[in-house]
């Protein structure tokens, strides 16, 4: 898998024994810790809580930074290396900051046949950001090109944060979705 | 928890005659009925949990035999007989009590496939019922449903439906007085196509990277958390309640020989009515595409159809009459796959389409086996240069020489899956590749499947 963003938030990878700066250290809220512990109790092996805990980290901290991965490892009590490996393997954990509304445009074949490439161009034009290049200056938008969202019959489809919107064939419908985002009608990023 | 999303899906087509004897509605019984995730609606209007009550009165072995008699083949793509798979699970002996698990594969990521999504949207209780019956047949201690991370709204819906079943006493301790304890847990994936492979899925369920395991040991011997496990697709498990309700031998009469039952076909691409259609196995492909889906939406002729999700080799015009079941599609050099038809009309440049598909496999390769990791990337790069007018004639032979070095040389079928579209495109549409190399433009003028801002 290709990962455009290295997990580090600092410019350089950490040397052995080096500590993250204070501002980049992350700690879970007591509620999040309780949530992670409840998940750990559900499975025969506490390792299984890695994926759900990373989602909790993403919700708590906005994105899965290196510090967030460390917090996950500490909360579950597993090696940090394991959490780094898992977090960088899966594409739904954002390793760099994203906008308040994260547009994930499917450009795979079924969507492409119905104009996903043009839709992606329009999304980029209207939000002013390029795919995978971080949020817009106002922090509102970010765009990502993703693989199949299993909405092939209602293509082209876009996932905004965690909700999928189908059949964005005309530009009006895209504008509608963006306007609704601005009004705050959609769930904000972080689930 | 957020409110359960109930969004009408106008693309759920019930065509004339759907639900009759000719086109039974076994999986999409509640299609279009957005209240079907409520337990009372499912029980009162769609014969819900009748099959479960019947199964719990039977011996576990008898339930497996019933599924065996039905001839149900796994709907995930490989078409392995489900009853046989269930019978591989080791039984308890007087000395040793085993903890067995049933895992439901809901990591639907194959481009062109969107069947599990509709089952979860409209018929979540039928999946739960199927999982209870499967769990009883194999005497499992726990059922896990692994669902791809993008389906958050469906996960919320399924969890709500599971809670209803728990409240009704269908899950939990001592189910309906049988003394059997069983519960279902939903696990959310995080965006990796490879986790649709069963051992990668098990790794992911255990909280690891989704890398396929070396087989043997097969999951039936050592699966989730080291215990015997059976992994079944959402559609396979949802097909179990109708089998128990009508009897295995009765179910076996639907569809074509050795390919019994109905299947959900999803049609996408250039057709007038894209969407999902439940049809008996062995229905001719042109009947589905021309009659039900309305034929080409653009008025242009249909050039190629991918018959079962992106991994299946493409078919051209001469094979459009193929009956859609596992054996017939295999005989025509393609695969039954996951039942997602991708229809492409004459305006589509096959080089662009192939590049788009191969880029998907290059992106989704887990990186464990070298032939797949390197091979898919190289195929992508070679196709990229052909598409951008820098191809050479010998590139075509190079591509053809790459696929036998990837296929069947990896731990899981992802490498083979990438070879399917590549080989078939080269065989059937070689002239388009040659046109691209000589004239440095698409054979099909105006094809625009790749965006200028994305990865290309």
Q: Walk along chain B (456 residues) and give the pLDDT tens digit of each residue.
A: 446 655 555 556 678 788 888 899 899 887 767 788 899 999 998 889 999 999 999 999 999 999 999 999 999 888 899 999 999 999 999 999 999 999 999 999 899 999 999 899 889 999 999 999 999 999 999 999 999 999 998 999 999 999 999 999 999 999 999 999 999 999 999 999 999 999 999 999 999 999 999 999 999 999 999 999 999 999 999 999 999 999 999 999 999 988 999 999 999 999 998 888 999 999 999 999 999 999 999 999 999 999 999 999 999 999 999 999 999 999 999 998 999 999 999 999 999 999 999 999 999 999 999 999 999 999 999 999 999 999 999 999 999 999 999 999 999 999 999 999 999 999 999 999 999 999 999 998 888 899 888 765
Which strands make up the sheet holding A158-160, listed edge to edge?
Answer: A141-146, A101-106, A158-160, A163-165
- Taking alpha carbons only, the member of A171, A92, A106, A1 closest to residue B152 is A92
Q: Which H helix or E strand runs over A158?
A: strand A158-160
Which residue from B minimizes the CA distance to A166? Answer: B9
Which residue from B minimizes the CA distance to A94? Answer: B190
For the residues of A81-150, what is the DSSP string, one character each? HHHHHHHHH-TTS-SS---SEEEEEE-SHHHHHTTHHHHHHHHHHHHT--TTS---TTS-EEEEEES--S
Those residues whose C-beta lies under 8 Å from the C-beta of residue A90, and which sit 6 or more positions away, are A51, A54, B149, B189, B190, B191, B192, B210
Are the C-beta atoms of residues A169 and A115 closer than 8 Å to each other?
Answer: yes
- Taking alpha carbons only, the member of B140, B163, B118, B147 closest to residue B14 is B118
- Taking alpha carbons only, the member of A15, A56, A54 closest to residue A35 is A56
B207: nearest CB among A48, A148, A149: A48
Q: Name chain B contacts of A164, Cβ cutoff 8 Å.
A: 150, 153
Output the pTM of the full model. Answer: 0.93
Q: How far apart are CA A105 and CA A181, in angstroms?
A: 16
Report H helices in B265-304.
Answer: 285-286
Neighbours of B55 (CB within 10 A): 27
Q: Which two tokens stand for residue B44?
A: 């009162």
- What integer pLDDT is reported at residue A2 of this predicted model? 47
Q: Which two tokens stand for residue B272?
A: 């007038």
**CA torsion, points A171, A177, A178, A181, in degrees to nearest 10?**
180
ipTM of the complex, rounded to two decimals: 0.93
Cβ-defined contact of A1 to B453 (cutoff 8 Å):
no
Percent helix, strand, coil in chain B, to 5, is: 40, 15, 45
Percent helix, strand, coil in chain A, to 5, is: 45, 10, 45
Q: How far apart are CA A8 and CA A13, in angstroms?
A: 6
For the residues of B361-399, what is the DSSP string, one character each? HHHH--S-SHHHHHHHHHHHHHHHHHHTT---THHHHHH
Q: Which two tokens stand for residue B9?
A: 């899906």
Bridge partners of B35, per DSSP, are: none
Q: How far apart are CA B455 and CA B301, in angstroms?
A: 30
Those residues whose C-beta lies under 8 Å from the C-beta of residue B73, and which sit 6 or more positions away, are B79, B80, B81, B82, B259, B260, B326
Cβ-defined contact of A92 to B114 (cutoff 8 Å):
no
- What integer pLDDT is reported at residue B236 of this predicted model? 96
Q: Name chain B contacts of A112, Cβ cutoff 8 Å.
A: 353, 356, 449-450
Q: How far apart are CA B437 and CA B417, in angstroms?
A: 25
A55: nearest CB among B2, B151, B188: B188
Q: Which two tokens stand for residue B274?
A: 């894209």
Pairing status of strand A163-165 against strand B101-106: unpaired
Cβ-defined contact of B113 to A90 (cutoff 8 Å):
no
- What integer pLDDT is reported at residue A188 of this predicted model? 76
Cβ-defined contact of A155 to B274 (cutoff 8 Å):
yes
CA within 13 Å, CB half, B32: 11
Bridge partners of B265, per DSSP, are: B277
Q: How many Å separate Cα A78 from the centre of its chain?
A: 23
Cβ-defined contact of A114 to B110 (cutoff 8 Å):
no
């Amino acid at each position: 898998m290709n990962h455009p963003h290295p997990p580090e938030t600092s410019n350089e990878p950490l040397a052995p024994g080096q500590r993250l700066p204070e501002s980049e250290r992350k700690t879970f809220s007591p509620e999040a810790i309780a949530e992670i512990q409840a998940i750990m109790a559900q499975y025969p092996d506490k390792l299984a809580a890695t994926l759900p805990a990373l989602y909790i980290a993403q919700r708590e901290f906005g994105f899965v930074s290196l510090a967030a991965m460390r917090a996950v490892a500490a909360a579950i009590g597993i090696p940090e290396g394991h959490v780094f490996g898992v977090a960088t393997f899966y594409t739904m954990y954002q390793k760099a900051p994203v906008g308040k509304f994260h547009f994930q445009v499917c450009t795979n074949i079924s969507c492409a046949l119905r104009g996903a490439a043009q839709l992606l161009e329009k999304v980029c034009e209207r939000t002013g950001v390029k795919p995978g290049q971080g949020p817009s200056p106002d922090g509102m938008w970010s765009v990502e090109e993703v693989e199949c969202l299993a909405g092939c019959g209602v293509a082209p489809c876009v996932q905004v944060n965690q909700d999928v919107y189908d059949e964005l064939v005309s530009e009006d419908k895209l504008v509608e979705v963006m306007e609704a985002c601005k009004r705050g009608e959609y769930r904000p990023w972080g689930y | 928890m957020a409110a359960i999303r109930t969004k009408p899906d106008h693309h759920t087509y019930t065509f004339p005659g759907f639900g009759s004897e000719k086109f039974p509605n076994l999986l999409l019984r509640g299609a279009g009925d957005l209240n079907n995730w409520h337990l009372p609606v499912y029980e009162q209007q769609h014969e819900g949990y009748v099959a479960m009550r019947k199964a719990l009165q039977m011996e576990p072995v008898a339930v497996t035999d019933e599924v065996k008699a039905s001839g149900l083949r796994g709907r995930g793509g490989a078409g392995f007989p489900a009853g046989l798979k269930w019978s591989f699970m080791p039984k308890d002996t007087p000395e040793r009590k085993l903890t067995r698990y049933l895992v439901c594969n809901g990591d639907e990521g194959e481009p062109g496939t969107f069947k599990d999504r509709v089952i979860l949207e409209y018929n979540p209780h039928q999946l739960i019922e199927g999982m209870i019956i499967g769990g009883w047949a194999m005497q499992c201690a726990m059922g896990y449903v692994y669902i791809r991370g993008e389906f958050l709204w469906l996960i919320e819906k399924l969890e709500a439906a599971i809670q209803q079943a728990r409240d009704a006493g269908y899950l939990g301790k001592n189910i309906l007085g049988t003394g059997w304890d069983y519960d279902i847990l939903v696990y959310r994936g995080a965006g990796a196509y490879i986790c649709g492979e069963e051992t990668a899925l098990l790794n992911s369920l255990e909280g690891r990277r989704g890398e396929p395991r070396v087989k043997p040991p097969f999951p039936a011997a050592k699966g989730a958390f080291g215990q015997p496990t059976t992994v079944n697709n959402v559609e396979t498990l949802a097909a179990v309640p109708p089998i128990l309700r009508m009897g295995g031998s009765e179910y076996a009469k639907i569809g074509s020989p050795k390919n019994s039952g109905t299947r959900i076909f999803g049609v996408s691409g250039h057709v007038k009515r894209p969407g999902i259609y439940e049809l008996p196995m062995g229905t001719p492909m042109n009947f589905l595409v021309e009659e039900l889906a309305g034929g080409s939406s653009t008025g242009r002729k249909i050039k190629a159809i991918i018959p079962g999700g992106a991994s299946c080799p493409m078919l051209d015009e001469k094979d459009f009459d193929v009956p859609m079941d596992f054996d017939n599609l295999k005989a025509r050099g393609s695969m039954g796959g996951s039942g997602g038809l991708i229809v492409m009309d004459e305006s589509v440049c096959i080089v662009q389409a192939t590049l788009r598909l191969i880029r998907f496999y290059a992106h989704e390769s887990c990186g464990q086996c070298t032939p797949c990791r390197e091979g898919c990337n190289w195929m992508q790069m070679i196709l990229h240069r052909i598409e951008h007018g820098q191809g050479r004639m010998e590139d075509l032979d190079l591509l053809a020489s790459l696929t036998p070095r990837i296929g069947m040389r990896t731990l899981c079928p992802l490498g083979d899956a990438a070879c399917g579209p590549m080989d078939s495109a080269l065989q059937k549409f070689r002239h388009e590749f040659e046109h691209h190399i000589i004239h440095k433009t698409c054979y099909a003028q105006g094809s625009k499947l790749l965006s200028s801002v994305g990865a290309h």
